[in-house]
Structure 1
């Protein structure tokens, strides 16, 4: 490919990504998905519960626009190299709808992020979000999802961190109690929660409520250098907050998720555990 052709391709790719934000994200025009994305599209940071492929792309943006009806993304900088496009952007919106199980707070949020795209033959094939999700959740007061950012459990550069994920079906009639639990952890008990996770050595923990075949399921994800040891610490803890959280979890899920983690075994039927290991680089103080 000649220099002129390469430059033309880069400008075409940047124009495609601008349309994603201008027409799809900001205006809610879902018709552009079939035009701009390839059928083999892979989103590496979708909303939890998103299906694969193009339906997952629609699911993620629909979820964001439901939670933030006035969502608007401003592209601060855009660059292209070969078949990749990098966006530095600012996300703004008002939390007026249910978002990942968090009821509307009415809070106006503004946060920054980086999104990397890979295109081929004029169609989007892959997407990576860097800092978008964590910055958004922090703005919503959900810093409990990353307690390590406040210091005690901060990871060192290049340290191996294991991510353990489980599916926790809510007990019948427990949806309201689960929502109140999330509100408590995000509000009056946030500092207790963060202190608890620092003591256990947990770098990041999240809970996402999703519908599954007519049942409510919570995706529980935990990152730690040694998840089993973190689970054992929480199971053995006599701290009043830890005792309260374990008891409440049993009321909501029918099990203690951290006790299951401590045993290093598969959870009860319907609670499928998976684990991956990643390299975590440090982040600054929140």
Structure 2
């Protein structure tokens, strides 16, 4: 237990350096020290190359567009090789940013970021909301996914609040976990979607990743009120909800939605998302 605590604290300290020294102060010299050369950023700025050069490209572009850029970490949690943060980005658009001329507009952007470290170095990054909120503040956006009916998904959904949990996967359960994902996407899809509509969950994703010697599942969802959604799922007598709670408890040794009801790793902001249920993001 002490070793796990030390690993989590070491990884959290590394992520703090990303913002305290690199992003906020512009000290690019630490990048080669704390990132793996083959680091994968799943949400870089457009045009960023792969690996560490892409990390430098992204932050250089942000600092050029927003010279007073400053990021505040609002909340942070860690489980083995994973660190989850909720942060706030603030800056004034005083320089060129993705081809947009300076507007002088002060922006505030909030989001969730999941980091994976390997041997103490940053190996992967997933950003949720940070960049899209910055673009929206400047009247810009990426091309969105399309709905099942083929229509753009923009403006399809209500305001929702994201939340993230990192869940241990019990030994020997990977096969059952993959079977569950397949069932939710096929034979039990209708029940699953109806359950999420009842409880106010507008988006839910599960990523299976390796953390040290164990597997973990990153559980991400967006709901109008994540804690209320968790309470509804925890207390529901609906046959599907009861079945899913039981399977989840077998896989993780706990009920993820009961954890959510208790406020596990809640996000601290709200943003608009499309109404869709996402179950991709391969291992």
TM-score range, shorter chain: 0.5 to 0.7
Partner of 1:67: 65
Matches within 5 A, 1:248-259: none
- Residue 285 and residue 53 in structure 1: after superposition, are their counterparts in 2 closer, same or farther (change >3 A)? closer
User: 1:202 aligned to 2:152?
Assistant: yes
Q: Give the distance between the partners of 2:118 and 2:142, measured in 1 at CA.
A: 35
- Residue 9 and residue 285 in structure 1: after superposition, are their counterparts in 2 closer, same or farther (change >3 A)? closer
Q: Is the 8 A contact 1:68 1:95 kept in 2?
A: yes
Q: Give the distance between the partners of 1:58 and 1:39, measured in 2 at CA.
A: 12
User: 1:284 aligned to 2:272?
Assistant: yes
Q: Give the distance between the partners of 2:129 and 2:21, measured in 1 at CA.
A: 23
Q: Is the 8 A contact 1:146 1:203 kept in 2?
A: no
Q: Is the 8 A contact 1:87 1:115 kept in 2?
A: yes
Partner of 2:105: 107
Deviations 1:155-202 (A, max 9, x none): 5xxx598xxxxxxxxxxxxxxxxxxxxxxxxxxxxxxxxxxxxxxx22
How many residue pairs are counted as aligned between the two chains?
161
Q: Give the TM-score of the pair, scaled to structure 2.
A: 0.53
Partner of 2:42: 44
Flag as ranges the 4+ runs of structure 1 deviating above 4 A: 144-148, 280-283
Match of 2:116 among 115, 118, 124: 118
SS of 2:6's equivalent in the other structure is helix
Match of 1:53 among 51, 55, 79: 51
Q: Give the TM-score of the pair, scaled to structure 1.
A: 0.52
Match of 1:134 among 132, 135, 157: 132
Matches within 5 A, 1:197-236: 201-203=151-153
User: CA RMSD for the aligned pairs?
Assistant: 2.6
Q: Give the distance between the partners of 1:70 and 1:127, measured in 2 at CA.
A: 23
Q: Give the distance between the partners of 1:147 and 1:128, measured in 2 at CA.
A: 17
Q: Is the 8 A contact 1:112 1:135 kept in 2?
A: yes
SS of 1:202's equivalent in the other structure is coil
Q: Give the distance between the partners of 1:281 and 1:13, measured in 2 at CA.
A: 26
Match of 2:22 among 5, 17, 24: 24
Q: Is the 8 A contact 1:41 1:124 kept in 2?
A: yes
Deviation at 1:56, TM superposition (A): 0.3
Runs of 5+ consecutive residues of structure 1 not aligned to the other structure: 162-200, 205-279
Deviation at 1:281, TM superposition (A): 7.8
Q: Which moved more, 1:129-138 or 1:89-98?
A: 129-138
